[in-house]
Amino acid sequence: MKMKAEKIFLSLLFMGMASADLLQNPDFESPPANLKGNSTSSFMLLSQSNEVPGWTFEGTIQYVTASQDTSLLENGHAIQLCQDGKISQTFIANGGITDYVLTFAVAPGDRNCSHHVYVVISVPHSTKVFSLKQQYGKETWERYGHYLGSWGEGEPVNLVFQSIRVESNPNTKCWPVIDSLLLKSVGTLSDANDNLLPNGGFETGPDFLSNSTGGILLAENIPSAFQSPLKLWYVLGTVKYIDSKNFFVPQGNAAIEIVSGVSAGIQTEVILKKGSKYSLEFTLGDANDTCVGDFVVGAQTGSTSQNFSLASNGTGSAKKFSLTFKAKTSATPISFLSYTTIQTRDGVYCGPVVDDVVLRASYGMKLEMQLKVLIYLYILGAILYFLWR
């Protein structure tokens, strides 16, 4: 059918499949062999004689336990990347040409740290820096989703975590602590009914950590929607990937909360029939996270743009909106941008929720197609009538 032919990236739709066995000891729960159970310190300096199983390291690395400050822990144990600290592990890709998305948790080594720390994640041909600003959640920990790359079956992939700090403060307590690594392989999806937007419900993204209640932060990943943890969507600014278990989600299991203020949001691109009319339907809401205010979101389809607003009392609400437009070019960008910066009473940045985005040919176009079919059937019937006389 022509409608299916208009969908962009049809052969590149993806579905996530949990792949917890790709990494050894991903939550660092298997400790070094000589870990002392009666230690009074939360930090144990590692050496070549007491490495963490599954991982190699360089520089100064500390193994973190729950003996003192349990707020430092996402699970029972973690790793702190100190001065020139680097840990790495090589995993083997386990399928055809497959994408890999990583979820990980990070926190400062001390709750009283005032300066920023940075974590660098690198794999072959890709490096990304994450800045730990502690402003998008109430907890000490922040969780991030990160697109690693695409590899074929049997390829070895070296995954590296490294610390960077801009300030010269020698306080080792403030170096980043990482925990709860979850690596996800992403395979092929089936067709998405009559929705022209792949992943319009945002169901394909990074995996949520089982013990996390704060959602997953997605940092800006321009210019490629193919290299995004939110499959087939660009991320502009910072957004939060939220789940229905811990937040209000209008539809399905996941949605997007735009948390980093003005001009942050998401964008994709579809191939449409030039000159044809389409309708874009979507839902705006609040995540039930005490985010109170008037949300203003701009929806843009090619050169057509319109602002939509929602009054939020922070307790979970949703409203459906729609707009119609004519495709002026075949490649049509579609985006949702926030024009509001809001903080909760706790000082946490928050914002509007976007979910259930559906793109269809407009009623007028459907009627036109139906008329063409009727005319075709009428002509065919007339031909057959005269042939059978």
Candidate from 74-78, 141-145, 286-290, 319-323 with smallest mean pLDDT: 74-78
Domains of the chain as residue ranges with CATH: 18-188 (2.60.120.260), 192-362 (2.60.120.260)
Q: Is the pLDDT of residue 54 over 90?
A: yes
pLDDT tens-digit profile of 184-207? 988 665 556 789 998 999 999 999
* DSSP classification of residue 153: T
Q: Quote the tokens at residue 382.
A: 């007339």
**pLDDT band at residue 362, thresholds of 50, 70 and 90?**
confident
Looking at residue 1, its pLDDT comes to: 40
Residue 134: what pLDDT?
61
Angstrom CA distances, 365 to 168, 253, 276, stand at 63, 32, 7
- The string of pLDDT tens digits covering residues 2-43 is 434 343 333 333 344 444 478 999 999 999 887 766 566 788
Using alpha carbons, select from 252, 309, 253 the residue that is nearest to residue 286.
309
Q: Rounded to whole angstroms, how far apart are CA atoms 60 and 46? A: 7
- What's the mean pLDDT when you consider all of the chain? 84
Worst-scoring range by mean pLDDT, 57-71, 245-259, 320-334? 57-71
- H or E stretch at 228: none
CB 147 within 8 A of CB 97: no
Q: What per-residue confidence (pLDDT) applies to 67?
A: 52
278 touches 361 (CB < 8 A): yes
> Residue 85: what pLDDT?
93
CA atoms within 13 A on the CB side of 159: 25
Q: Give the pLDDT band (50/70/90) at residue 353.
A: very high
Tell me phi and psi for residue 380, to 5 degrees. Answer: -60, -40
pLDDT tens digits, 230-251: 999 999 999 999 999 999 999 9
pLDDT exceeds 80 at position 141: yes
